[in-house]
A and B are shown apart, each in its own frame.
Chain A
């Protein structure tokens, strides 16, 4: 591999690390969700922009659910009658959908402002 390629890869790795660094320094915003009868409660939640978000998802149903979001780029299986914690990077303003991957109809959204 040439020097220029090594420098390119090193620059990308450094940028990736720098991208993660602010998340370590900021206090996260906690978002509480419950999941029962195949639906999120509440189904719309809010968080401030440019701060990390922690979802605490309580699954009250008798079967497991999978909290998933392509735009948040997270997924977590939450067993029946238990709680899952999902950490999300600082987000830009916008609407981020999430759903139960085991139940197509269970949808929710995080509005970041």
Chain B
């Protein structure tokens, strides 16, 4: 059933403008001579940095500090389908804590928004609401030392959704995201490379009684350069494959996404992350048009704020 919606045609532009402003704000914060002295720019005096969030959509291996607690608001926006107007966001309201020097646990609630108009195979929609919950268990399998620049973490994240991420329809969706998060310190306290491997099986029961099983498989590579003691800029590439089923036998399409990212430590106990990816290549099985806009989106953006306590 198609609904009449109130369009919000400039949502993508607003998101990009916000990210550009945050970029400029981050540089301005780093360059503010009244709050930062010469050590801001002198890498030899910088403290070590937590790598989990410095790569944009790619997650680093960091698990935090034993006893540390954090509250984060993490929004991911997805924009653009083959036709019409498409803008969807999912926000995690997340509590994160590190009970030991090897384990990190996170859980929280999900909220979503959908602004969809004139997209083939999707109902028009303008809605926002509570979308479900999630938990994440992270285990540091290989730790970095001054003699070993590689660090590896295994992560498991079950999600329960009451609203479909893509269409915004009422559903019951169970997803089990499994990732390997690795990073390498290429230059001490200065340059980092991050790598993720992703396997994300899910099952969805729709309102009409259909059962949909699917899976996403992917990998990413990212580079992040610390340009000031509190600012990192970087870029990342993702390769994602979609399957109709968790066994990875029914391949339906793939895509490559590329984009920049920014990390700013705003205060010793607060930081923000901004990232943007655009689909630069993609294919859908059975469709000769360029890009994969059936399973993925033209662009995605991430904006995250975190408070440690």
Q: B-contacting residues of A (Cβ < 8 Å)?
A: 1, 5, 8-9, 12, 15-16, 19-20, 68-76, 88-89, 91-97, 99, 101-102, 104-105, 107
Closest chain A residue, CB of each to CB of B39: A104
- Tell me the interface secondary structure of chain A in the complex: mixed
Q: Are the C-beta atoms of A73 and B63 separated by less than 8 Å?
A: yes
The number of residues on chain B lying at the interface, defined by a beta carbon within 8 Å of a beta carbon of chain A, is 33
Give the complex CA separation of A70 and B183 in angstroms.
15
B176 interface residue (CB < 8 Å to A): yes
- Stretch in B76-84, B88-96, B121-129, B139-147 touching the partner: B139-147
- A99 close to B47 (CB less than 8 A): yes
19 extra interface residue pairs, beta carbon distance < 8 Å, beyond A12-B137, A12-B139, A88-B101: A5-B156, A5-B176, A8-B156, A8-B178, A12-B156, A16-B103, A70-B65, A73-B63, A73-B64, A73-B98, A73-B101, A74-B101, A75-B67, A89-B102, A92-B145, A93-B147, A96-B146, A97-B48, A101-B268
- Chain B residues positioned under 8 Å from A95 (CB to CB): 146
Given contacts A1-B158, A75-B68, A101-B268, contact A70 B47 (CB under 8 A): yes
> How many A-B residue pairs lie within 8 Å, measured between CB atoms?
79
Decide: A20 near B49, CB < 8 A? Known: A15-B139, A74-B66, A94-B146: no
Asked if A74 contacts B176 (CB within 8 A), the reply is no
B167 to chain A, nearest CB (A): 25
The smallest C-beta distance from B207 to any residue of chain A, in angstroms, reads 23
Residues of B within 8 A of A76 (CB): 67
> What are the residues of chain B within 8 A of A16 when measuring CB–CB?
100, 102-103, 139
